[in-house]
Amino acid sequence: MTLIELGWNPEHAKAFAPYEKRGWVPARLIRDNKITYGALLEDGDEYEVIMGGKVYHDASCDAELPAVGDWVALEIGTGDLDTVIRARLPRQTCFSRKAPGKTSEEQVIAANVDLVCIVTDAGTDFNLRRMERYFTLIARSGARAIVLVNKSDLHSDEQNREAAEAIRAISPDAKVLITSAREGQNVKAIREFLTPGVSITFVGSSGVGKSSLINALLGDEWQEEGEVNEVTGKGRHTTTARELMVLPEGGILIDNPGIREVQMWTDETTLREKFSDIEALAQQCKFHDCKHGTDAGCAIREAVQSGDLSPERFEGYLKLDEEIDHLKKRLKKRKMTIERRNKRDHRIKARNLADRIDYEREQKPKPGAFPYDED
Ligand SMILES: Nc1nc2c(ncn2[C@@H]2O[C@H](COP(=O)(O)OP(=O)(O)OP(=O)(O)O)[C@@H](O)[C@H]2O)c(=O)[nH]1
Ligand SMILES: [Mg+2]
Ligand SMILES: [Zn+2]
């Protein structure tokens, strides 16, 4: 396996040059085992590696720590020594979301991916508002979006087509395909994206068929995974960790556990771009600070009433805005806490330094005093 087949390109090579001189080797992270990582090297060798202290301390937040898909510089351990990640190369794309729960941390789902493939179905998983959130996150990541309306064998042609059309309508740039991992429908069409060196990550709710599609792409025989666990209602092969795989004929796949919460990790600019139609309407509101609720002369409300704008899309817009607002507040709070903590740390350091200087002064002979005073 060559580095290029693993997704390496001239920009990576340039970033790596200073590390090469130190005898370190490039590798791509394929698995996150929490304490260790799985890394794939040029010849296809897989190593279990640990993070170097500097990499850990240089990261200002979790999102800056190495993640699956990252390129790193490894110092290969000989004898009993561990193989250590000495540096993480800059990311060319980064697909991330807000970490689950009440935190305001960013969680990296996959680094350096060219394509993010959202898997859904035309049945119970289908949710356009969730799609919008995915599209916003993908727009920010730098990767391109593909949507697979999977399990087509379980729904009517019409239902599948309607679902695909509705998704195309909210994101005209995204490629939308109707697939069945079970019947192999359109698996070839997915494969066409996977030229050597192209990385694609699969995201979507648990049970939509991400791993089944990956198996179909890997060319494994279709396995009957139909037995559903009665307690969790999930198939038996629920994915529990991110993992990167290289297809024999080229292309790099990253499987992910099902995503329950698609929380925003984004900024205002991306949001405004995604909803540029609504933003344009807002310009026409009578009052520049229109809340688009009950204010008179609201162009957005008029558009909803005349049917030019779907109320769901408008609601999606309002909700996203609200969420970003919360995120900002949380970030600000976190920043304040960190600043407070830093200030406190500085104060302690300053105090220690001051103590030391005082102490040294006391040790120093007083001016004019004879240095070797006899007892
Ligand atoms: N009928 C049908 N069933 C499918 C299809 N794709 C997947 N399944 C079934 O759906 C269940 C879940 O599939 P998985 O591939 O494990 O789903 P996943 O998205 O990887 O789920 P997590 O790993 O939990 O996130 C399994 O029982 C599969 O056999 C399909 O195209 N048609
Ligand atoms: Mg899975
Ligand atoms: Zn308005």
Output the domain CATH number for residue 130. 3.40.50.300
Identify the three-state secondary structure at position 145.
strand
Q: Is the dihedral of CA 304, 305, 307, 308 positive or negative?
A: negative
Rounded to a whole number of angstroms, the distance between the first and last alpha carbons of the chain is 78
DSSP state of 235: B
Phi, psi (deg, nearest 5) at residue 312: -65, -40
User: Which ligand is closest in space to the CA of residue 299?
Assistant: 3
What is the pLDDT, as a whole number, of residue 88?
96
Q: What is the mean pLDDT of residues 22-47?
A: 91
Q: Is the CB of 320 under 6 A from ligand 1?
A: no
The answer to whether residue 313 sits within a structural domain is yes
Q: Distances from the Cα of 323 to the Cαs of 34, 170, 177, 332, 336, in angstroms?
A: 29, 20, 30, 14, 20
pTM as predicted: 0.71
143: closest CA among 119, 113, 98, 118? Answer: 113
- CATH (domain of 68): 2.40.50.140
Q: Kindly give the number of the ligand 1 atom that is closest to the alpha carbon of 154.
A: 1
Q: Which residue has the higher pLDDT, 247 or 354?
A: 247
74: closest CA among 7, 16, 6, 1? Answer: 16
What is the pLDDT, as a whole number, of residue 169?
93
- Whether residue 241 is predicted with pLDDT greater than 80 in this model: the reply is no
Statement to judge: residues 66 and 121 lie in one domain? no
Which domain, by its residues, includes 154? Answer: 94-224+236-255
Amino acid in position 56: Y
Statement to judge: residues 213 and 116 lie in one domain? yes
- The number of folded domains in the chain is 3
Q: Whose CA is nearest to atom 30 of ligand 1?
A: 151
Statement to judge: residues 199 and 310 lie in one domain? no
Q: Is the CB of 258 under 6 A from ligand 1?
A: yes
Q: Is the CB of 153 under 6 A from ligand 1?
A: yes
Other beta carbons within 10 Å of 291: 10
The CA 140 to ligand 3 mean position distance, Å, reads 26
Q: Which of 212, 227, 234, 255 to mutate to test the pocket of ligand 1 (most atoms within 8 A of CB)?
A: 212
